[in-house]
């Protein structure tokens, strides 16, 4: 339909733009970050330190947007390898643990099998997990719990990320994953679209369950690699 074609055009245009511009933005951003970090080193004035922290946070934000756009420009996985998903997940969770704790969020990880092989582009898959967990964190402004699980069933590795957050109203569920669909003031509405694309390129599936004011669970199914 017309809507789909328009969306494809829009994405193609963004992809081209991203390919040309992302690197150009990243380099000056890296030097800005370096100098801002350098200035914080011997800054004794508390207010100025705070301003520098704000600058660094904002640089981080621009950087993460640029990163999202870079994935749009190159949506195909590049390095497919046989990996055990368990340490990959542990690694992502350890990255987020500290930030989550600060926001009164507990992250639990349960896995039924210690070895579950999948064929993945590890960095892309980490990005997917990060996107889902970041969304879970953002859905719980007053704290809560994120239960992450992994198990093997019917030749599929099942991953799930469940939060105890605000949930997604039914009329918004079908908009999930559309480019630029966001309900957040500072959101860009790209995270899920990119994640769905990456999962798809791994021959995986994703679905969501949500109950308003109870929480949301994203399920990811990846083909199990057996040798």
Binding site for ligand ADP (CB under 6 A): 131, 135-136, 139, 163, 165-166, 168, 176, 181-184, 187-193, 216
Return the range that interacts with Mg ion (CB under 5 A); candidates 46-54, 146-154, 190-198, 204-212: 190-198
191 sits near Mg ion (criterion: CB under 5 A): yes
Nearer to Mg ion, 135 or 160 (CB): 135
C-alpha pair distances (Å), 64 with each of 1, 47, 161: 32, 26, 21
How far is it, in rounded angstroms, from Cα 121 to Cα 77?
A: 6
Read off the tokens for 20.
């040309």
Q: Which among ligand ADP, Mg ion, none contacts residue 182 (Cβ within 5 to 8 A by kind)?
A: ligand ADP
> Which phi and psi (to 5°) does residue 210 adopt?
-150, 145
Give the number of other Cβ atoms within 10 Å of residue 35's Cβ: 12
Nearer to ligand ADP, 74 or 184 (CB): 184
135 sits near Mg ion (criterion: CB under 5 A): yes
Read off the tokens for 125.
């898959």
Cα angle 65-27-41, degrees, rounded to a multiple of 5 = 95
Nearer to ligand ADP, 82 or 212 (CB): 212
Return the range that interacts with Mg ion (CB under 5 A); candidates 53-61, 133-141, 152-160, 210-218: 133-141
> Which phi and psi (to 5°) does residue 146 adopt?
-120, 120
Give a three-class secondary structure readout of 133-184. HHHHHHCCCCCEEEEEEEEEECCEEEEEEEECCCCCCHHHHCCCCCCCCCCC
DSSP character for 208? E
Nearer to ligand ADP, 117 or 197 (CB): 197
Q: Which among Mg ion, ligand ADP, none contacts residue 216 (Cβ within 5 to 8 A by kind)?
A: ligand ADP
CB of 170 to ligand ADP, least distance (A): 12
Return the range that interacts with Mg ion (CB under 5 A); candidates 75-83, 86-94, 134-142, 165-173: 134-142
Q: Which among ligand ADP, Mg ion, none contacts residue 165 (Cβ within 5 to 8 A by kind)?
A: ligand ADP
DSSP character for 104? T
> Which phi and psi (to 5°) does residue 193 adopt?
-60, -45
Return the range that interacts with Mg ion (CB under 5 A); candidates 9-17, 132-140, 169-177, 213-221: 132-140
Read off the tokens for 202.
């791994």
CB of 49 to ligand ADP, least distance (A): 29
Nearer to ligand ADP, 121 or 210 (CB): 210
Q: Which residues contribute to the site for Mg ion (CB under 5 A)?
A: 135, 191
């Amino acid at each position: 339909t017309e809507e789909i074609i328009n969306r494809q055009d829009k994405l193609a245009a963004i992809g081209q733009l991203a390919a040309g511009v992302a690197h150009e933005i990243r380099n000056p951003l890296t030097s800005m970050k370096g100098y801002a970090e350098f200035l914080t080193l011997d800054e004794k004035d508390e207010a100025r330190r705070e301003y520098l922290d704000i600058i660094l946070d904002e640089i981080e934000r621009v950087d993460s947007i640029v990163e999202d756009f870079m994935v749009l420009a190159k949506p195909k996985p590049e390095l497919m390898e046989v990996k055990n998903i368990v340490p990959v997940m542990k690694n992502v969770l350890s990255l987020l643990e500290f930030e989550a704790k600060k926001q009164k969020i507990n992250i639990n990880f349960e896995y039924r099998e210690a070895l579950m092989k999948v064929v993945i582009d590890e960095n892309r898959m980490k990005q997917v997990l990060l996107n889902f967990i970041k969304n879970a964190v953002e859905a719980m402004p007053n704290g809560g719990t994120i239960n992450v699980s992994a198990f093997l069933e019917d030749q599929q590795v099942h991953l799930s990320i469940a939060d105890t957050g605000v949930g997604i109203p039914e009329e918004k569920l079908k908009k999930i994953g559309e480019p630029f669909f966001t309900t957040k003031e500072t959101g860009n509405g790209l995270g899920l679209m990119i994640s769905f694309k990456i999962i798809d390129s791994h021959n995986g599936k994703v679905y969501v369950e949500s109950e308003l004011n109870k929480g949301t669970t994203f399920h990811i199914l990846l083909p199990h690699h057996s040798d």
